[in-house]
Structure 1
Amino acid sequence: MSEADDSSAGDADGSGVQLDMISGERMDQLASMEKIRLILDSVHDGNIVILEEGLDPEEESKLIEVTMTEISPDEFTGIEIETYPGSSKSSGGFFDRLMGRETETKLTVIGPANRLETLHKDETLISALVTRT
């Protein structure tokens, strides 16, 4: 058996697309720049990242800013990012309820611009085409 035949991880043979689904709990444990680096490192590898709770507006702006500095015509074409806003408000923890704060849960899909194309987006659906190239 050759080394190529022994591969069991990810998209080693080019036959699929890897999805990295990251929980809100994991993201809560990271600082803003750690979140951005985690996302961009995965997207640089050609993976599609799905965030359970999305990023806050400042983090999303920083992600776009850092992405722009890393774009290279031959290596990295940038990112495609779509956020699906949750229609129901979550009350968060006891302290948030006590203070009258509500947080909106949202799902975010991020991928390489040359592999992820948004076909349709509305309040209830994100339809995307993911290619292998």
Structure 2
Amino acid sequence: MPGPTPNVDGDASSDGPEDDGVRIDMISGARMEGLTGMEKIRLILDGVREGNIVILEEGLSPDEESKLIEVTMTEISPDDFTGIEIETYPKAETSDQSFLDKLMGRKSAQKLTVIGPANRIETLHKDENLISTLVSRK
């Protein structure tokens, strides 16, 4: 069995999670459901600050998304953290809502949300069925 392969600097590289790849954290709606708004924001920002792409199964509420952007702006630093890129599928139209939900003014849940470091993720295309993103290595 071959050992670790040398990287471009000639050093041996590990085959573990510290590789040059891109880590993607896919977080279920059930995991997010039990968290407060600030706990959700910390979970997301901690992952993104580590260079990970975070994918939320159910997205954030508009208030939570605004707070995420607000907290991100306070944490930006040119040498350490350049901010986030966030894309969410548009909310489903009212066709999948019950009459009671429409009557009570409840909005349908947002669909999949993709969040990543602003210096590593670039949205190439977005429509109601597709988010196409280019993710660069560090």
Query: So what's the TM-score if we normalise by structure 2?
Result: 0.80
Which of 87, 90, 103 pairs up with 1:85? 90
Which of 60, 63, 76 pairs up with 2:65? 60
8 Å contact kept, 2:91–2:108 = no
Q: Deviations over 1:67-97 (max 9, x none)?
A: 0000000110000000012536365xxx969
| Structure (1/2) with the larger strand percentage | 1
Q: Identity of counterpart residues, as a percentage?
A: 69
Structure-2 residue corresponding to 1:13:
19
Structure-2 residue corresponding to 1:42:
47
Q: CA deviation at 1:122?
A: 1.1
Rounded to whole Å, the distance in 2 between the matches of 1:62 and 1:102 is 19
- After TM superposition, list the pairs within 5 Å mapping 1:96-107 onto structure 2: 101=106, 103-107=108-112
Number of equivalences: 126
Matched residue type, 2:117: P
Q: Is 2:121 the partner of 1:116? A: yes
Larger Rg: 2
Q: 1:57 to 1:86 in 2, by over 3 A?
A: closer
Rounded to whole Å, the distance in 1 between the matches of 2:97 and 2:24 is 26
Instruction: Extract unaligned runs of 5+ from structure 2.
Output: 5-11
Q: Is 2:79 the partner of 1:71? A: no
Structure-2 residue corresponding to 1:23:
28
Cα RMSD for the two superposed structures: 2.6
Matched residue type, 2:55: I
8 Å contact kept, 1:90–1:104 = no
Structure 1 segments of 4+ aligned residues over 3 angstroms from their partners: 1-5, 99-102
Matched residue type, 1:13: D
Q: What SS is found at the alignment partner of 1:106? A: coil
Query: So what's the TM-score if we normalise by structure 1?
Result: 0.82
